[in-house]
Structure 1
């Protein structure tokens, strides 16, 4: 089944759902599961060679599959967006901050994007210093202007506060005079009172306008600080995603090398036939491999990877924890000297657990391609946008929100290209293997206003 899936995605590699999720990631995950099932062939080992084959294939395969799964989850955590959008969504800002117009086209390839980045980088490198100088001058002038305006406004407001207090005092005195006139004359001087009231309203309105100007400038400054904070978060998200690939590229080959070295060391240190042939509780004799103790450490490592995946939001991974390495640890403790029962217990539950993990990983590719929807990102990239609650003017009031009729396809396509570029580590550009560095990933977005 898994080999059929590999052939299937290779034949359908031009479908968007395969390209967008990553052809090589799909192949590597499948390879990891295949290596695990190959290891089952050697699980009834009767010699150290068979035991070492079982140990190596099993843990190299499982770890590869889990690492690829972890990469998917982590990239979604760092670069992904929620299943709904709002106008104030930081992730929506990420999508709309892309600075290259060609990203609007879904046909743009990662190689094309990289070419655009290089051309932009080369064409602007000679003028960066002068641009920065100009920008700094403009910022300083703008800052001085803003500070001057705020200072003037504050002075005017303070002055008007004093004036307004005097006016209010005069109003009180004038009211007393009018009341005295009314008492003496028995009539109300309506025209005089209305004239005074209109003048007082003018003073109050001017003060309100000046206060509003101060408040607006304060909020603009606050919004700018919030925007800068979001930009810094974007930097961190891209850097974390890039570091994840770099760490995986270094650590996983070392893990494979360490596994092989340990298998060789254990062969030379503890490979006595007399010591390793043991009688089980039912009277049968079997070969007990010295790598079984090391197997516990590897199972613990795999549980750690699964827990990290669980923390980032995939609760279905609990199935893999329950039926995967945790089962191996339990069987080692309970069925240590019952090889046949341990074999049935481990093989059956491990196979079910990792097969479920494989199905969860691959079903959507097969399903949408069979339905001829493999090139429609709206089918496999499900996202919605809602309107604000008309009663509370909020997205988070708890009321049933109305779904927006806005066409989200341009945002989806643009985001997918952003995701693909930021999650790409190596590309083939004009027949040459190119390393996509951190600078290119940060520069491809319009990080600065």
Structure 2
């Protein structure tokens, strides 16, 4: 075979890989609006108000005859969605690796989630049960789809490109979240000028996130391709037995498990800061809803720059060192948050800016670093464990936050208590010999890691 032929084949392969990567980015663009507009901003307060309208004189609703305080219904629905996702992810991940047909499974999960989100348009009056069911389905479907999406990373990007590819995906997702949130805020704040009630505006914001999710999912489904990584295997028993099989396989790679433990700890801190920052702003600092929504938008915008900037740093210093640096930055940001004066929005926006700059990069680089630690042919199965660490295990942080507030009566003490997750996560990650872990997983070791 001549040199020109080899070069032409290499050029075609590079072009095909770039095209597939661009398609992969668009799933972040498609689904991130669900996390931003639905979960972070609109659904919690709105579903709680619907549940309160259906509550009895004592403030309780009774789904399936179980008394639940209306104010807790949203939180319980999120918890049930996590349980469902934890049960489904190992099963779906194992099936994807056995058959090599990830794309149909990704499409099915994405469109179930998008349909459930679009159906939130019909959430009005006292239909709190409808809202709870749609939330459980949409949130679990998003977790399953993200697990499959993440598992493509080691297949579409060689080791030297993964930090940049992962960072671009996160950045595009935050950009989409910012764009749609701006439109939502225009519609919500000016609903009267559009001839809409406040509740109708919220329902349109919720449903539009589902339509966006479904429409842009078409791009990755057209450009991604399935790969058979080995001979087809017979299905193992579903559910818990599949999870047990995944855990047994991961025990053969203890350094991969060591990274997952570090990630579980510091990501728990990240997720708790995201979920509790608005509570801190409203209850401790006395800030209004418009200020809090503006801060969420600022986080989204700066997370784009943060993800891309930390991706560049990783090319120079390696992903592990850059993540460790981000954990130091998280610690400093929370320490500064403890001293924020009440009733001063400008300082809360400064805190939001600090969070935004480290948020996207720490998440993007964690994903790309883990992709190096996955044995070939086990991508979806291992990323199911990663996604469970991301979504299914983030309960210690809220528990510590709540217990600290209960003991001290201070949200300042509660927010600064989360520093422990970043310090412990830093120590655990620093102890992982990443180069050896990559080699033991059977993957080539990048020059910078």
Normalised to the residue count of structure 1, the TM-score between the two structures is 0.26
Larger of the two Rg values belongs to structure: 1
Of the two structures, which has the highest relative contact order with CA contacts closer than 8 Å and spacing of 6 or more? 1
Normalised to the residue count of structure 2, the TM-score between the two structures is 0.26
- The structure whose residues are more often helix, as a share, is 2
